[in-house]
Amino acid sequence: MIELSGIYKVYGTAEASSTVLKDISLQIKEGEFIAIMGPSGSGKSTLLNILGTLDVPSSGKYNFETTDVTALSQDQRSLFRRYVLGFIFQGFNLLKKTTALDNVEMPLIYLGVHAKERKERALQALKSVGLEDRADYEPSKLSGGQQQRVAIARAIVTNPKVLIADEPTGNLDTKRSHEIMQILQEFNKNGITIIMVTHESDIAAYASRVLHVRDGIVEREENNVH
C-alpha cells in the first residue's frame, strides 16, 4: 500500500545542512501495524511526518497505492489526509473548551458531512473507544487516557485507511498506555493500517513490525508474532 524509495530529508541551507533521513526505502502493506523506534534525533518523527504528508521529503519517491504523494500540492496533501489518514498525537491535541463530541465531529466538517449524520458518526466513534457517556465533556474534564481515546475517536471517525500515531502513549502512565494500545490493536484487527512512533519497547510490542531508526536510516526491523 505504501512504498517509500530513496527518501532523503535535508534541513538547512547548502552550506550548513543536516541530513535527517538518508535513503530510506520501505514498504508497508495494508493491515500492518508498524512501530517506528529510535532515540531522539534519529529521524523517526520526520519519517512519520513524511508518511503523514505533514512534511515533504527533500528527494525520493512516496507512493500510496497508485498515488504519487510527492507530486501532490499542499492543498492536495490536505485532501489526501482528509480522506485517507487519521492522526493521533502525544499531546492529544484536542480543541480546548470544545466538547468531546464536537472534537470528534470536527474532521467530518471538512468531509462535508451534514450535521445530523456527523453527530451519529461521532457518537459511534466515541462508543467504539468506550466514551459515549462522555460526549458532552470538555477535554479539561477528562483524564489523559480519556482524552487520548477521544483523539482516537476523532482519528477513526472518517474511516481512514491509515492511522498515524506520534507517541500516542507518551503522556500516559503504564496502565492507560496499555488500554490505549489495546484499543489501537482492536482497530488494526478491523483492518486499519497503523504507523506509530514510540520509544518504549513494551508499546512497540503491540505492533506487527518494528522499524529501528538510527541516524536517519532504518537500522534493522523485526517482526512480532502475536
Partner 1 sequence: MFINAFIQALREIKRNLMRSLLTAMGIVIGIASVIAMVNIGKGASQSITKSISKLGSNTLFITPGQQHGPGSQSAVAIPFKSKDVEVLKESIITLDAISAVESSSMTALYGDQNYQTSVKGIENDYFKIQDFSFKSGRDFTSNELRSGLKTCILGKTVVDKLFVNGENPIGKKLRLQKFSCEVAGVLNPKGANTFGMDQDDVILVPLNMFLRRVSGNENIHLIMVKVKDNIPLEEATVQIQQLIRENRHLKPQDEDNFSVRNMSALVDTISQITSMLTIMLGAVAAISLIVGGIGIMNIMLVSVTERTREIGIRIAVGAMSQDILIQFLIEAVVLSGLGGLVGVIFGISITMIVSYFMHFTLIIDPTITVVSLLFSMLIGIVFGIIPARKASNMNPIDALRYE
Site for partner 1, rule CB under 8 A? 49, 52, 54-55, 74-75, 78-83, 85-87, 89, 93, 95-98, 106-107, 109-112, 154, 158
The answer to whether residues 189 and 163 touch, using CB atoms and an 8 Å cutoff, is no
What residues have CB less than 8 Å from 23, skipping those under 6 apart? Answer: 6, 7, 8, 60, 217
Beta-carbon contacts of 208 under 8 Å, excluding residues fewer than 6 positions away, are 32, 33, 34, 188, 223, 224, 226
Comparing CB distances to partner 1, the nearer of 11 and 219 is 11
Q: What is the nearest approach in angstroms of partner 1 to the Cβ of residue 55?
A: 6
Minimum CB separation from partner 1 for residue 220, in Å? 27
- Residue with smaller CB distance to partner 1, 96 or 116: 96
Q: Which residue number, 30 or 110, has a Cβ lying nearer to partner 1?
A: 110
Whole-number Å distance between alpha carbons of 90 and 148: 8
Nearer to partner 1, 49 or 124 (CB): 49
Instruction: State the minimum distance, in angstroms, from the CB of residue 152 to partner 1.
Output: 13
Task: Compute the least distance from the CB of residue 205 to partner 1, in Å.
Answer: 27
Q: Which burial class, exposed, middle or buried, applies to 206 when counting CB atoms under 10 A from its CB (0-12, 13-18, 19+)? A: buried
Integer CA distances (angstroms), 123 to 16, 187, 225, in order: 50, 16, 34
Q: How far is it, in rounded angstroms, from Cα 11 to Cα 122? A: 39
Identify the CA nearest to 89 among candidates 175, 157, 164, 178.
164
User: What is the smallest separation between the CB atom of 174 and partner 1, expressed in angstroms?
Assistant: 25
**C-beta of 41 vs 182, nearer to partner 1:** 41
Main-chain dihedrals φ then ψ at residue 177, nearest 5 degrees: -55, -45
Q: Is the Cβ of residue 94 or residue 210 nearer to partner 1 in the bound state?
A: 94
Report the nearest approach of partner 1 to the CB of residue 98 (Å): 8
